[in-house]
Amino acid sequence: MKRLTPARRLGLLMLALLLAATALGTLWWPVDPLTQDLGASLRHPDAQHWLGTDLLGRNVLARLLEATQRSLWLAALTVALAALPGAALGLWASARGGRWERTLVMLADAAQSLPALLLVLLVATLAQGAPWGLAAGLACTLWVEWFRITRAVAGPTWGSEAVQASRLLGFGLGYLLRHHLWPALATVWAALLPLALAQTVLTLAALGFISVGVQPPAAELGAMMIEALPTYDEAPWCLAAPVLVLLWLVAATVLLASAQEAAE
């Protein structure tokens, strides 16, 4: 039976701590992240404001908790919208082959040739600024990676001697998927999933940093960074907080993705 490597255990622990902090933090710290108090602008961290306040006097810790929650659930929604159709189409293309596979490959090439920012802006505009529109726009570009990796792994598996023997013995599609395709794909998907989450969180932060993603006054990690830049010299904690959360999340997901080989 395989065991988790120390690196992967550390990644899981780091991710669990972040999820617990964001889930329980708003209950333990019931402060409205949108409440402004200009008289408390750029206050240093103290007992009342653990991470200080920003230029508008808003509690940085409350905004950080909300921003992390929003970034994580948007990233999870984006990855789900990209992974489910991408993996399904990859399996379909590798199983059918022929013109179906060529058509899907051309579709993936066409999707990847379009500027990602253009797709995100188009879908987000059609969704009238709804957060799910941002996730759907990102998924329109990220599904290609899931499609190509699934197709590349599943293709040789469909043509393997084990699958051919199972077919000759009369086993159905469910058996083939469960006993042949799943063992081949599970490890690859397990490595791709945390990397996709980290990539999506960073992309959301980058979009927020250029004022394309989640719009103010809603809190988001990238938006928090761009808001903190003008006052960095006076209040470095406002910029340091979202940056450290991003670094923590990326480190956790990289540890999860790079430590798939478990000790026997």
How high does pLDDT run on average in the chain? 86
Q: Give the pTM.
A: 0.86
Torsion of the alpha carbons at 126, 33, 224 and 12, rounded to the nearest 10: -90
In a domain, 37, yes or no: no
Full residue range of the structural domain in which residue 210 is found: 6-21+50-258
The closest alpha carbon to 65, from 104, 98, 32, belongs to 32
In a domain, 240, yes or no: yes
Q: What are phi and psi of 3, to 5 degrees?
A: -115, 155
In a domain, 44, yes or no: no
Token look-up 């792994």 returns: 153
Lowest-confidence segment of 52-61, 112-121, 134-143, 188-197 by average pLDDT: 112-121
CA distance 190 to 210: 31
In a domain, 26, yes or no: no
- pLDDT band (50, 70, 90) for residue 262: very low
User: How many folded domains does the chain comprise?
Assistant: 1
pLDDT at 263 over 70: no
Query: For the chain, how many residues are written?
Result: 264
Please give the pLDDT value at position 171. Answer: 86
CB atoms within 10 A of CB 153: 18
Per-residue model confidence as pLDDT tens digits over 26-39: 777 777 888 898 88
Instruction: Give mean pLDDT, residues 142-158.
Output: 93
Give SS3 for 170: coil
In a domain, 93, yes or no: yes
Please give the pLDDT value at position 128. Answer: 67
Give SS3 for 59: strand
In a domain, 31, yes or no: no
Do 64 and 219 touch, CB atoms closer than 8 A?
yes
CATH number at residue 72: 1.10.3720.10
Please give the pLDDT value at position 260. Answer: 52
pLDDT at 176 over 50: yes
In a domain, 164, yes or no: yes
In a domain, 42, yes or no: no
Per-residue model confidence as pLDDT tens digits over 63-92: 999 999 998 999 999 999 999 999 999 999
pLDDT at 190 over 50: yes
